[in-house]
Structure 1
Amino acid sequence: MSSRPTFGTIKRVTAILIAITVVLAAGIVVGQAPVIFGVDDDPAASITFEDQESDGVSVTVDEVTLSDGGFVVITDGDDEPLAVSSYLEDGTHENVTVESEENGTDLTGQLTATVHQDTTDDETFEYYETDGEEDRPYLEDGYPVSDTASVTVDDDEAVSDSFVVESMTAPESATTNETIAVVAEIRNPTEYDQQQIVEFRLNGTVLERQILDLEGGEDREVSFEVDLSGAPPGTQPIGVYTDDDGEIDEIDLEFHTDPSVAVVDADDEEVTVDVATPEAGFVAVEDDGEVLGTSDELEPGEHGNVTVAFDDDVTVDEDDELTAVVYEGDPEDVDSAEPLEHDGEPVEETFTIVDVTAEADDADDADDENGDDADDE
């Protein structure tokens, strides 16, 4: 009897080897599916930061959840952080204490707690040292995950020499181009003559400050004339603060004009617009929904001669029908931005370069004629 494999036996062995290969390959693919097909979740976080009294050198974050670990950073509206937490493992953390840096920065007023990643995986916060390249904030809908709280200082011996804000009177509402009057009653709780700074802050930003001299036990009214130009609309926290005390309230700010955009000049390289926006954002020039270029980021308010440069690979004709659109969001992340709306309609203007140029020429001719008439007189 021959010991050589038959053709049928070879076919069966080959089929078994193919089946084993398929199973192993399937296992590899399944095991690597999140990487191969891109279904791995983005880093996610949440935070709860409630109003509180503190000792002036630390604050408590009620709860923070991080998918990949990281840090909580405390700021007051300025660029530099006031305090950074120690490294937090992934998961949920309650009652996280964040202490100020050794420079003695006071953690009082309107403070913001933002959740940052540990992108360097070294458990050391390096966001500011790397100009924002590393340890970036967690994002939700394109915005940093953060929460804001009003922090006042406990009335204890550590702050007993501070002037005390007994009361504050301010309007409940205003428009963003008004100057409002704010009156606060300040008391020196000590028996010594003292000089201290008294500040008015809106949303954590100092808008006005005065130096106040008070005798021991004296109290006095202090008046601030506060220019709200450039202030963001909406319900904003306001407060009067001394060294270690403060009084906090809220004011409803209404944008002082209708949102608008007007094209004032245009050529085949850039478009110039005047814009009024109640939200931080930018202006984009579009052709049938395709973004051809964006302006720099704009703060809430009125802006003249805002430039929108066309992207390098964009070519436009002078009779192309283009649209200037006002957006809310970051011009570096256009896909996450939303068109600004007023009365249910987007804030935009449609134009052609040839029409804008003709209108600008007519305006120049009119100015020249007016100048000639004035010279004749």
Structure 2
Amino acid sequence: MSAKSTLGTIKRVGAILIAIAIVLAAGIVVGQAPAIFGVEDDPEASIEFEDQQGDGESVVIGEVTLSDGGFVVLTDGGDEPLAVSDYLESGTHENVTIERAEDAEEDLVGQLTATVHQDTTGDGYAYEETEGQEDRPYLEDGFPVSDTASVTTTVDDDALSDSFTVDSIDAPAAATTNETIEITAEITNPTELQTQQNVEFRLGGTVLEQQVLELDGDETREVTFQIDTVGAPPGEQPIGVYTDADGAVTTIALEFHTDPAVEVVDASEENVTTDVAIPVDGFVGIEAEDGGLIGTSDELDPGEHSNVTVEFDEDVEVDDDEELTAALYEGEPDDDEPTPFEDEDGEPVETTFTIADVAEQEDAEDEESETDA
């Protein structure tokens, strides 16, 4: 082999070794990218932070998912966070409200960034106080998981100063869904002028009653609402009293006033009539012997309903002696996969019948009525 050929071979081998070194070095840098930002990239997170209007005291994160739990931290480009969420457990959380820190000097307005942090200490958020050694951000492709939104304020100081204020609200902690409850609110006119404004009561976000209130300047007065809970959904419900630009909110635990039930009161080859007590939005479904739905009622609000009619589907033929089932369902009648309603024991609320048995029972009741007459 000539000296020239040997020299060319040495150069090619050297170039290959240099290329390998570059690739290895690049791999090391890429592999260390998470370490540059202070966390491992095994934990996963995502966040959705939409543009919104607020009062400067809080913002709402639309959705955040954390594989190992942690916090959402709000910043505006400064060194210190403006606010930190409560600890969030592993999983997906929607509509997470984050309150401004008590010692924060700035309102939660402007261009804000929400970053998802881990909880490595298990003892509250500690990223700043440990100089970034603990509770570091989740990473995606080597960068902190975050989202930025524009938050504008809805507070109009002039409007708020002219509005009646709701100083307090007094309401029962619990009630049933078939009674009248009394709610008392203390309302103040903060201006020096006699003013008339609307005061409204809401249950679960729905306005149930409004009163026109006239107050002298600096006057405070109690306003009482008598609210009928019939038709209200059971469970923990928000209740509130609101003026033009102020309000107060509390909660009430509503218990359904009776046991859920469905009773067949009439039946024919075309339809079935039922009496219903249902604590959720739902409907009555008629099931054939094979379990398939052959008819559904209109959607029902929570409460008691008399003479709920269920028409059989057009292509359905039912024998008088065929065993049918009337059952309660949650949701809407046109759901592709309707969900049977279950009671507190996890049992479906239903009753079986035949058209012949219902007719026989009606005849017996008619004869008994005639005898009594």
TM-score for both structures, normalised by structure 1: 0.59
Which residue of 321, 324, 335 maps to 1:322? 324
Q: Partner of 2:335: helix, strand, or coil? A: helix
Partners of 2:288 and 2:317 lie apart in 1 by 11
Correspondence list, 1:146-165, <5 A: 154=155, 156-165=157-166
The structural deviation recorded for 1:336 is 4.0
1:310 paired to 2:309 = no
CA-to-aligned-CA distance 1:160-218 (integer Å, 9 cap, x gap): 11110000000111110111111100000000001111111001111122111100110
The structural deviation recorded for 1:53 is 5.2
Q: Partner of 1:299: helix, strand, or coil? A: coil
Partners of 2:368 and 2:210 lie apart in 1 by 47
Which residue of 348, 355, 358 maps to 1:356? 358
Counterparts in 2 of 1:342 and 1:353: CA distance versus 1, 3 Å: farther
Aligned to 1:132: none
Q: Which amino acid aligns with 1:240?
A: V
Counterparts in 2 of 1:48 and 1:338: CA distance versus 1, 3 Å: farther
Q: Which amino acid aligns with 2:254?
A: L
1:271 paired to 2:268 = no
Partners of 2:191 and 2:298 lie apart in 1 by 51
Aligned to 1:63: 62
Correspondence list, 1:1-377, <5 A: 54=55, 62-63=61-62, 154=155, 156-288=157-289, 289-370=291-372, 372=373
CA contact (8 A) 1:233 1:253 kept: yes
Uncovered stretches (5+) of structure 1, i.e. residues with no partner: 1-45, 66-93, 96-151, 373-377
CA contact (8 A) 1:329 1:338 kept: no
CA-to-aligned-CA distance 1:221-267 (integer Å, 9 cap, x gap): 11111110000001000000111110001111000000000000000
Counterparts in 2 of 1:295 and 1:169: CA distance versus 1, 3 Å: same
Aligned to 2:76: none
The structural deviation recorded for 1:365 is 2.6
Q: Which amino acid aligns with 1:162?
A: S
CA contact (8 A) 2:187 2:221 kept: yes
CA contact (8 A) 2:197 2:244 kept: yes
Partners of 1:342 and 1:266 lie apart in 2 by 29
Q: Partner of 2:190: helix, strand, or coil? A: coil
Counterparts in 2 of 1:228 and 1:52: CA distance versus 1, 3 Å: farther
Partners of 1:257 and 1:48 lie apart in 2 by 42
Q: Which amino acid aligns with 2:301?
A: E
CA contact (8 A) 1:330 1:337 kept: no
Q: Which amino acid aligns with 1:276?
A: A
Q: Which amino acid aligns with 1:156?
A: D
The structural deviation recorded for 1:48 is 7.9
The structural deviation recorded for 1:61 is 5.1
Partners of 2:344 and 2:196 lie apart in 1 by 48
Partners of 2:307 and 2:196 lie apart in 1 by 45
Q: Partner of 2:200: helix, strand, or coil? A: strand
Tell me how large the CA RMSD over aligned residues is: 2.8
CA contact (8 A) 1:325 1:348 kept: yes
Partners of 1:334 and 1:360 lie apart in 2 by 35
The structural deviation recorded for 1:367 is 2.7
Q: Partner of 1:274: helix, strand, or coil? A: strand
CA-to-aligned-CA distance 1:331-365 (integer Å, 9 cap, x gap): 10141423333422110000010111111122223
The structural deviation recorded for 1:272 is 0.4
CA contact (8 A) 2:330 2:338 kept: no
Runs of 4+ in 1 over 4 A off after TM superposition: 46-49, 152-155
Partners of 1:212 and 1:244 lie apart in 2 by 15
CA contact (8 A) 1:168 1:185 kept: yes
Q: Partner of 1:319: helix, strand, or coil? A: coil
Aligned to 1:127: none
Q: Which amino acid aligns with 2:267?
A: A
Q: Partner of 1:207: helix, strand, or coil? A: strand
Partners of 1:253 and 1:274 lie apart in 2 by 22
Q: Percent identity?
A: 56
CA-to-aligned-CA distance 1:82-131 (integer Å, 9 cap, x gap): xxxxxxxxxxxx99xxxxxxxxxxxxxxxxxxxxxxxxxxxxxxxxxxxx
CA contact (8 A) 1:200 1:239 kept: yes
Q: Which has the larger radius of gyration?
A: 2
Q: Partner of 1:307: helix, strand, or coil? A: strand
Aligned to 1:77: none
Partners of 1:334 and 1:230 lie apart in 2 by 26
The structural deviation recorded for 1:310 is 0.5
Question: How many pairs are equivalent?
Answer: 239
Uncovered stretches (5+) of structure 2, i.e. residues with no partner: 1-46, 65-94, 97-152
